[in-house]
Amino acid sequence: MVESCSVRDIRFLCLRSTKVLWPQVLVDMGRMREAHPVVKLLRALELFLYRKSDRIVILGNQMKDYITSRYNISEEKIVWIPNGVELTRFSSITPPKGSNPEFLVMYLGAHSATNALHVLVEAAL
């Protein structure tokens, strides 16, 4: 997230990521209920940060709907910078010796319960 900050009347932009703060993950994963005080506190902090920000950078386009509908934040304030990879940079990589070159899986990303990596592992077996 890009946020306006000031120190001694000097304004500058602050970059801040709220993906760790995102309370919806706690609710969706069944870790906490919507009415839990921690979720309420994180939602209030999330709203405060979104409102104070000049721009909000999101990594997934579906996050735009979440932010605009839940917090009534203008779409113009939101910038989507997708995670991705330039596949042509890896075209010269050969599969490991002894692997099946027709079925090769590589995952580059976070390794947490929210990523459901077990689905990828089960598909590879």
- Identify residue 5 by its one-letter amino acid code: C
| Residue 115 token pair | 């990523």
Residues 53/1, Cβ–Cβ less than 8 Å = yes
**What domain count does the chain have?**
1
pLDDT per position as a tens digit, 69-106 = 999 999 999 988 887 778 788 778 777 788 876 776 77
Provide the mean pLDDT of the chain: 81
2-31: per-residue pLDDT in tens? 455 555 666 656 655 555 567 888 899 899
Residues 51 and 53: their CA atoms lie apart, in Å, by 6
81 or 35, higher pLDDT: 35
Q: Is the pLDDT of residue 60 over 60?
A: yes
Q: What is the DSSP letter of 121?
A: H
What is the predicted pLDDT for the residue at 69? 94
Range of the domain at 12: 2-124
Q: Report the pLDDT value the prediction gives residue 9, as an integer from 0 to 100.
A: 62
Could you give the CA distance from residue 41 to residue 104 in angstroms, rounded to a whole number? Answer: 43
